[in-house]
Amino acid sequence: MSKKIRWAVIGSGGIARRRTIPEGIISADNAKLAVVYDINAEVNAAVASEFNAPAAGSIEELLKADIDAVYIATPANVHCQQTLACAEAGRHVLCEKPLGMNVKETETMVAACKKANLSLGTAFMIRFHTQHKAALEMIQAGKLGKLVYGRAQMSGWYPPIEGAWRQDPTMGGGGSLMDMGGHCIDLPEMFFGKVKRVSCFTDNMVHNYKSEDAAVTMLHFENGAFATVDNFFCIPDSSSLFALEIYGSMGSIIAKGTINQGDQGEMTAYLEQSSADYNAQQDHKMSEPIMISPQPYNTYRSEIEEFSQAIIEGRQPYNNAELGMRSEKILEACYESAKTGKVIEIN
């Protein structure tokens, strides 16, 4: 196989045009843009011209091209049928999250790719942020002691827009929780391990579209730790810190701006050399801050290079379908909790 994976894109407008094509596929050392398709022919022609790639007139035409892998960046309600078409054509798939509209659809996608001996990946590019990777190394080295609590926050201003699929649960599967909560739940699972039960609240606090514009979730992990996740479509972008907080028995890691589409952000660790004695005065003197600032590396480029390299080496990618399946199960449990008012166990 060629050392450069030939990529096709289904849904060339939106996030593909803004981020994944220029920052990921074009920039990656082991990838090449081969063909693009979008339901909007005018947009697709513009993308094709911008990135010097052929424009396919249909998904069928795209799948007949000389390609190895397909990046799917369409509304969630067509992810399943498009993935099945790719699997039937013998093409590996990297799909935007959520993989499917529900667990059943996702299981169908996973089974089809597995049967065809193809890789199915989940586009959780935030996992590849170099500061998140550095934080994970510190946690795995025991620097924070026993993990106790975390928080992941991602919010923004998303007013009613005609035809916006994220504002219609029949097209996107949900609103702020489904769209941003997927990242914010996956990231704590990377740090804390598997979630075993959830409690969730959703509402429309400002906007009156069909999907929720507000969601707060409590996660309880198998290792006993807790985390909260908050996602709002009704908080101004400039007011959202995109915050990450991780607390353990021997310190904490605090970040802002890292749960985002770019590779920017600030991250600081506050660590104890040993278990602290009881402080009767409760003066709360903080330990010396340790800046966590590894060399930035574009997250979209990282996810494309990892998936491409996995195909070249014939192995499962780090950004695999299991992550998407976990996310789907947890999100489905979150919506059930919000609907019933109950704590929901994750199977």
Calculate mean pLDDT across residues 146-166. 97
Burial 52-77 (b: 16+ CB within 10 A, else e): ebebbeebeebbebebbbbbbbbbbb
The residue with greater pLDDT, 273 or 30, is 30
Rg (CA), the chain: 21
Q: Is the four-CA dihedral 144, 145, 151, 153 of positive or negative sign?
A: positive
Nearest to 139 by CA among 193, 212, 86: 193
Burial 263-277 (b: 16+ CB within 10 A, else e): bebebebbbeeeeee
CA distance linking residue 88 with residue 314, whole number of Å: 19
Residues 6+ apart with CB under 8 A from 263: 129, 130, 296, 297, 298, 299
220 pLDDT tier (thresholds 50, 70, 90): very high
- pLDDT beyond 60 at 174: yes
- Domains in the chain, start-ordered, CATH in brackets? 5-124+300-319 (3.40.50.720), 126-297+329-345 (3.30.360.10)
| pLDDT value of residue 275 | 58
Calculate mean pLDDT across residues 142-168. 97
Ramachandran category for residue 173: left, alpha or beta (phi over 0 → left; psi -120 to 50 → alpha): left
Which amino acid, one-letter code, is at 332?
Answer: E
Edge-to-edge strand ranges of the sheet holding 289-291: 289-291, 266-271, 251-256, 243-248, 147-153, 226-232, 214-221, 195-203, 344-345
The CB density around residue 298, as the number of other CB atoms within 10 Å, is: 21
Global pTM value? 0.94
| pLDDT value of residue 208 | 97
| Tens digit of each residue's pLDDT (9 = 90 or more) over 56-86 | 999 999 999 999 999 999 999 999 999 999 9
Edge-to-edge strand ranges of the sheet holding 120-122: 31-37, 5-10, 69-72, 92-95, 120-122
CA distance linking residue 191 with residue 144, whole number of Å: 11
> Residue 1 class from Cβ within 10 Å (0-12 exposed, 13-18 middle, 19+ buried)?
exposed
Calculate mean pLDDT across residues 140-157. 97
| Tens digit of each residue's pLDDT (9 = 90 or more) over 97-130 | 999 999 999 999 999 999 999 999 999 999 999 9
